[in-house]
Structure 1
Amino acid sequence: MVLATVAGVGVHALTDRYDRSVARQDLLDTSARRDRATVTGPLNYLLIGSDQRPTQSAGDARSDTIIVVHVPATLDRAYLISVPRDLLVDIPASGTHAAGTDKVNAAYQYGGGGEGGAQLLSATLSRLTGVRFDGAALIDFSGFERVIDLVGGVRMCVDTPVRSIHTGTSFAAGCQQMTGARALDYARQRYDLPHGDYDRQRHQQQLLRAIMDRVAPSDLMSNPIKLDQVIRAVGSALTVDTNGTQLEDLVFALRGIHSGALVGVQLPSHPETIDEISYDLRDPDADGLFDALRGGDLDGWVRANSRWVNQL
């Protein structure tokens, strides 16, 4: 989304604005960090959204949203692979928590949230997939409310009518313009939807594309004040780990990715109750997905496994 706002802005100007607004931390565990010096594809990035509430400490929050972003060697598109929050995984030992199996979103909590939580989550996912990451971002989704409002809202298409369990707001079926608060509320819903959390994952992928659709138009590029506000708002909602890559190099390498080049992917899995606790368990197709991530042939896997591809 930062890239989408800079089509008409010099890289040096962007770097200065971005560096002054974004926080930087070591979000990747050493076991999950790819050792490289240049931005050449294929690339894999980890996006983490926390469900921390104002009354919670960081150590009590779990990762509400987990997305692996895969950029093929051509660097012209990106796959958004949503990891189910209830996926049953092996979590390495950390601090006072012994190694064991649990829901994947517990790794963020066991690591103490924030930087430590992101590191344990990245180690967990690297162990699961065999992938080492090229960078990571910790997302404050509530911070994107201001971004959405600054660009005049986003267009979201509601496929199934649903009532928010958080605000009581009703979302009727059909495409509609949404404010930041309304769009984020919709993207958090999973109850009373046909496919539960899988629908929520798809809606979050759609929201990311909808934001990119709005930050790219030329009228934003021609308004330096609004552009500066958007860049700063995006930056304030992120904590990033660029894995030592210079921002200018990253911007130049990924400049060809636009909203229409995003592809949503559902990690092959299914819900199952074990000892009265609801989990998501991996399907056999997940192994092929992980192989494709490691081998850089996600294009081929997607063509052969369309049932796991989301329409954005």
Structure 2
Amino acid sequence: MTRSTRLFIVLGLALALVGGAAYAAVQVTRDRVDEAIPQVDLFGPSEEPSPSPSPSASPTPPAGADIKGPLNMLILGRDTREEQKGSPAHGDVVMILHIDKDLTGAYLTSLPRDLVVDIPAFAPSRFRGERSKLTHALTYGARVPGNGSKWNIAQGFQLLAKTVSKYTGIARFDAGAVISFGGYVRLINAIGGVDIYVDQKVVSIHRRPDGVHRATCGGCAHGYSGPRMTYNVGTRHMNGWMALDYARQRYITGSDYARQRHQRQLMKAMLTKVLSGDLLTDPTKLDEVLGALGETFTFDGRGRKPSEFAYALRNIRPANLTLVGLPGSGVYSGGAYRGERLDPVQATYFTALRADKLDAWTKSHPKLVNLR
């Protein structure tokens, strides 16, 4: 089994659809991947028709060979445990992956969950529009009229995508994925854990050193009590709960901007791990990974399957995945916190993204590139 076959089986769309070297997957493997990853309509009716595949050549090229760059993909991470407690749907992590025209370079950046944005009106949920936090776009869009306890995540993604498009100027996303944090734990364990360089001391508010959730406490800091898991600076091998716990913490130096950086680092660490060894020579391990994928991701390729994107992006490797952190600060009104705003440099980033010139942009803004 080739490196790229391992990659798209394990990550599918997990790492925003990046591929590996020397693709040579067999048809049965492609079918299993496409069956494992739930595919739903995340974007809703499109005002622009999807491009038609190019006429088949002889011999027939691999599925996905006609996908052309540049591409933009929207990735949403959500904490399903909150919803299990009866809370509304929230967009906890929002990432944008840009693939260059040659389909060889990728750029991953984040938008703060509390970014203050203009959320447009949305008829399916009877939402009238509002200036609010980005995380609320999913909430407002996911509402099901007449049923206050039901949340339609795919419908909410539609409004989130419209909101992000309005903010960034990205007219159309070529694919989208919803990541379940709970499924992430199982997926990371299935690939044998990941190695992450802890770039600052992180003390968890959620977990004890033994991995057990800390006890809830009404009068305690952040609502929890008891001993706390600590991640000290240096390279550390993490299993599923550790990696997710580390990437969730925002009550740390750098607050949510540090958390965004750690989430991007986790994505790259997973990609690096998958390409570092023979993970899937065991059929039992393959079934475990495929099962984890099914619990972790929901994908919309605008009519194209996960395996097609995996083939199209087969030349992207960890060294070609650039992590970008856009700086920002809090917004206050009358002394009360209202959310976050990104520094003006964000406008130049998205201008470069739309023009497919992020290679030049990152070279001129080296301090905003996460080295590891």
Taking structure 2 as the reference length, the TM-score comes to: 0.77
Asked if the contact 2:21–2:316 (Cα under 8 Å) also holds between the matched residues in 1, the reply is no
2:313 is equivalent to residue 283 of structure 1: no
Match of 1:260 in 2: 319
Equivalent residue runs for 1:137-286 within 5 Å = 137-167=177-207, 168-191=228-251, 193-275=252-334, 276-286=336-346
Asked if the contact 1:29–1:122 (Cα under 8 Å) also holds between the matched residues in 2, the reply is no
Report the residue type matching 1:264 in the other structure.
Answer: L
2:92 aligns to what SS in structure 1? strand
Q: Indicate the percent of aligned positions where both proteins have the same amino acid.
A: 38
The structure 2 residue matched to 1:89, chosen from 117, 128, 134, is 117
Root mean square deviation, CA, Å: 2.2
1:273 aligns to what SS in structure 2? strand
Quote the offset at 1:164 in angstroms: 0.8
Asked if the contact 1:31–1:123 (Cα under 8 Å) also holds between the matched residues in 2, the reply is no
Report the residue type matching 1:10 in the other structure.
Answer: A
**Equivalent residues, number:** 310
Supply the distance in 2 between the matched residues of 1:7 and 1:217 (Cα, whole angstroms).
14
Asked if the contact 2:257–2:327 (Cα under 8 Å) also holds between the matched residues in 1, the reply is no
* Range 127-136 or range 214-223, more displaced: 214-223
2:109 is equivalent to residue 109 of structure 1: no
Asked if the contact 1:25–1:240 (Cα under 8 Å) also holds between the matched residues in 2, the reply is yes
Quote the offset at 1:143 in angstroms: 0.6
Q: Which consecutive residues of structure 2, in runs of 5 or more, have no partner in the other structure?
A: 1-10, 13-17, 53-65, 143-151, 208-227
The structure 1 residue matched to 2:28, chosen from 13, 16, 41, is 13
Supply the distance in 2 between the matched residues of 1:8 and 1:135 (Cα, whole angstroms).
21
Quote the offset at 1:154 in angstroms: 1.0
Quote the offset at 1:267 in angstroms: 2.9
Asked if the contact 1:302–1:309 (Cα under 8 Å) also holds between the matched residues in 2, the reply is yes
Quote the offset at 1:120 in angstroms: 0.3
Quote the offset at 1:28 in angstroms: 1.6
Quote the offset at 1:4 in angstroms: 5.3
1:299 aligns to what SS in structure 2? helix
Taking structure 1 as the reference length, the TM-score comes to: 0.91
Seen in structure 2, the aligned counterparts of structure 1 residues 155 and 241 have a Cα distance that, compared at 3 Å, is same
Asked if the contact 1:268–1:284 (Cα under 8 Å) also holds between the matched residues in 2, the reply is no
- Residues 162-190 of structure 1, C-alpha deviations (whole Å, 9 max, x = no match): 22111231222221111100110010001
Q: Which consecutive residues of structure 1, in runs of 5 or more, have no partner in the other structure?
A: none
Quote the offset at 1:31 in angstroms: 6.0
Equivalent residue runs for 1:121-136 within 5 Å = 121-131=160-170, 132-136=172-176
Supply the distance in 2 between the matched residues of 1:108 and 1:147 (Cα, whole angstroms).
24
Asked if the contact 1:33–1:243 (Cα under 8 Å) also holds between the matched residues in 2, the reply is no
Seen in structure 2, the aligned counterparts of structure 1 residues 218 and 154 have a Cα distance that, compared at 3 Å, is closer
Match of 2:39 in 1: 24
Supply the distance in 2 between the matched residues of 1:34 and 1:210 (Cα, whole angstroms).
36
Seen in structure 2, the aligned counterparts of structure 1 residues 23 and 249 have a Cα distance that, compared at 3 Å, is closer
The structure 1 residue matched to 2:360, chosen from 295, 300, 309, is 300
The structure 1 residue matched to 2:84, chosen from 55, 68, 71, is 55
Quote the offset at 1:285 in angstroms: 1.3
Supply the distance in 1 between the matched residues of 2:316 and 2:49 (Cα, whole angstroms).
22
